[in-house]
Amino acid sequence: MDIGIAGAGVAGLACAALLRRAGHRVTLFDQAQAPAPVGSGLILQPIGLHVLGLLGLRESVEAKGARIARLYGKSNDAIVLDVRYAALGGDVHGVAVHRATLFGALYDEALRAGAALELGRAVTGADDGVLVFADGSKSARFDLVIDALGVRSVLSRASPPLTYGALWANVTAHDAFAPDALEQRYEAARKMAGVLPIGQNQAAYFWSLRGRDFDPWRAAPLDEWKDEARALWPQTAPLLDQLGRHDDLVFARYAHRTFARPAERKLAHVGDAWHCTSPQLGQGANLALVDALALAAALTRQDDLALALGEYARMRRLHVWLYQTASFLFTPAYQSDGALLPWARDRIVGPLAKLWPAPQILASLVAGAVGWPLATIGNARGQDVSDGLGARVGAGAERIA
């Protein structure tokens, strides 16, 4: 088929690489004048690593990242979040990387596979396989358009931002922090700071911030905020000392939405364009990678486009719903102005999370394995994706849960 993809982010590039491998003709459109990632660090969970493995990219990405064995957070010096991949048994782990590392690997693979790329093309609409651009021009007619425009996609449905976003910065790593763990500190749910090693002697630092407080934060001297951040977590002083300007940090806004129709006539939504949420569970890029794999599998297994899009929606619906629901429930305990939920997090949920079977459940949740996403794709009826991708997913090349 002739396939047009709106958006050259993680979801769009992964779709391009997989669909080119399956023999489709693919053109990517992006509004940027030069390809570039947006954001700081992220954790590639076992499900995302599996998809990268199928593309032959896992080893190179892992080599540039940091192996993550544990996620933990403290409130008033008490550990209230402690997730260890070891609870799942075997060699299960996450890999934290700079977004540029993941973007670069997928971008190179999409072009190497033969996808065409048109930059400076801001999409404003789609009609029966034809993309409409901001300058009034239109694309050729495609058999299928894939919406990979992210959380603010004009092809799905906009959502208001969540109350809290986060400031992110890349800093030089420091030996005060574990090289294989995401560490966080909390004051109720109003304040949260985190440090994530992302490989190559770098770390990502983040600070929770209300959206309405971003402009006042920029207007105030940076040292005022740094004093507040040091007071919450004194050990971050060497990291904060590396930040000399407001522009050394990027503010990310988040939204929570699941678009009701993941696929329509000649149009499929992937990644944040279909389902977006806060980053509390760290699943955004991973869900996008699995979406891309499921869509490629469905299009290979079904000759009829309508049936293929229906199969894509069925393969992904349970997994997406479970993680959207979990994120909706978890987020207020870590980013909100309330007092009851963070109190319950510290006094009740934290201690209970140490009791069997909670460690295994939490590890499966973080690993992205709840809902059996890879088995669902691998067991879908029909022939396998070209190059044996579907067969390898069904065989369970990695033990995730």
The rounded distance, in Å, linking the Cα atoms of 202 and 210 is 26
Strands 257-258 and 144-147, by their bridges, are: unpaired
pLDDT score of 37: 74
Q: What is the pLDDT of residue 159?
A: 84
Residue with tokens 């358009």: 145
Residue ranges, the chain, pLDDT below 50: 381-401
DSSP H helices, 269-304, are: 284-301
CA distances (Å), origin 364, targets 90, 106, 181, 187: 13, 26, 17, 27
**Cα 299 to Cα 349: distance, rounded to the nearest angstrom:** 43
Q: Which amino acid is at 43?
A: I
Q: Which of 270, 263, 246, 258 is nearest to 326 (CA)?
A: 258
For residue 240, the cross-strand partners are none
Residue matched to tokens 């894509």? 312
Matching residue, tokens 């951040």? 229
Q: CA angle, corner 198, sides to 40 and 370, nearest 5?
A: 85
Write down the pLDDT at residue 315. 97
Place of tokens 């996450």: 94
Distance CA 179, CA 110 (A): 31
pLDDT of residue 380: 55
Q: From the CB of residue 122, how many other CB atoms can be counted at a distance below 10 Å?
A: 15
The residues pairing with 118 across neighbouring beta strands, listed in sequence order, are: 29
Cβ burial of 25 (10 Å; 0-12, 13-18, 19+) is middle
First to last CA, the chain: 36
Residue 212, φ and ψ in degrees, nearest 5: -70, -15
pTM of the model: 0.94
Q: What is the pLDDT of residue 382?
A: 36
The 3-state secondary structure of 112-157 reads HHCCEEEECCCEEEEECCEEEECCCCECCCCCEEEECCCCCCCCCC
Q: Which residues contact 259 (CB under 8 A, 6 or more apart)?
A: 156, 157, 269, 273, 274, 275
Question: Residue 224 — φ and ψ, nearest 5°?
Answer: -65, -45
Residue with tokens 């023999």, as numbered in its chain: 23
Nearest C-alpha neighbor of 37 from the set 80, 1, 8: 8
Please report the domains of the chain, with CATH numbers, ordered by start residue: 2-68+100-159+256-342+360-394 (3.50.50.60)
Chain centroid to Cα 28, Å, comes to 20
pLDDT at 34: 87
Alpha carbon 75 to its chain centroid, in Å, reads 26
Tell me how crowded residue 97 is: count the other CB atoms within 10 A of its CB. Answer: 27
Q: What are phi and psi of 167, to 5 degrees?
A: -85, 135
